[in-house]
Amino acid sequence: MIRWGIIGAGKIAQRFVKSLAHESNSELYAVSCRILAKAQQFADTYHALKAYGSYEELLQDPNVDAVYITLPHGYHYIWSIKAIKAGKAVLVEKPAGINAFEIEGIMEVLKQHPVLWMEAMKPRFTPLFQKVQALIQEGILGDIQEIHTVLNSKQFDEVIQHSYLSDSVYGGALLDCGCYCATWITEYTKGKLRIDHIDVDLQDGYDLHTKVQMHIGNTLATLETAINRPEKKEVLIKGT
């Protein structure tokens, strides 16, 4: 039985524990929040055994086997490292880091403290993703020549301004939605990355819309994402 501890008590955490309740090999053991009363309310609602008013307390609990980090993007790096050093298996909400420096730093820590550390990139586990993966592995598409990805969402200005989306360091479309596009691209390409063109619509330091054209090895790829445009979800993969 895997005893889970949740770092953060927001909507993402709520969605996760609702699914966790259907897993026979897992149980919700503890939840942590900077406000103890909120953590206790979460624990009462979802039947966690422990509620903590700090993330450190949860990591110090020897009964916690694995943690899910549900905090905003800017906190994934530091709390991943703290959880790894505490000897916990780690599932961290996407994006796992906000830049290459953070990911490389986590990889270095994992060399000294080898535990399972994983990004919660849910599309990898959907039937569609796995079907496409199987078709490509079977060679039905031949060599991948092009991958074009789009993930746009229409967020109200009020939502953007009063959430992490408006943060100039870890907000914006690329980190919030673009990481899904990047997952599709990196799954089926290999080789040296060359950026051909970047088009960005910035507002107060964060991107509302980003479009990147690149080559990875011999594959042409485009990544387009936005938080201020009509919803669009599309992946186009072309082979030989």
- The per-residue pLDDT for range 208-237, each reduced to its tens digit, is 999 999 999 999 999 999 999 999 999 999
Q: Is 66 left (phi over 0), alpha (psi -120 to 50) or beta?
A: beta
**pLDDT value at residue 49:** 97
Domains and CATH numbers, the chain: 2-120 (3.40.50.720), 126-239 (3.30.360.10)
Tell me the percentage of the chain whose pLDDT exceeds 70: 100
Q: What is the DSSP string of 51-111?
A: EESSHHHHHH-TT--EEEE-S-GGGHHHHHHHHHHTT-EEEEESSS-SSHHHHHHHHHHHH
The predicted-structure confidence for 32-86, as pLDDT tens digits, reads as follows: 999 999 999 999 999 999 999 999 999 999 999 999 999 999 999 999 999 999 9
Mean pLDDT of 86-98: 97
Residue with tokens 């089926």: 188
Tokens of 49: 């055994």
Mean pLDDT of 5-31: 96
The pTM for the full model equals 0.92
Q: Is 156's pLDDT higher than 90?
A: no
- Which residues sit opposite 209 in a β-bridge? 201, 226
Confidence bin at 119 (pLDDT 50/70/90):
very high
Tokens of 169: 């360091």
Sheet holding 228-239, edge to edge: 193-203, 206-216, 219-226, 144-154, 228-239
Tokens of 207: 């991107």
- Helix orientation angle between 76-85 and 100-112, rounded to the nearest 10 degrees: 0
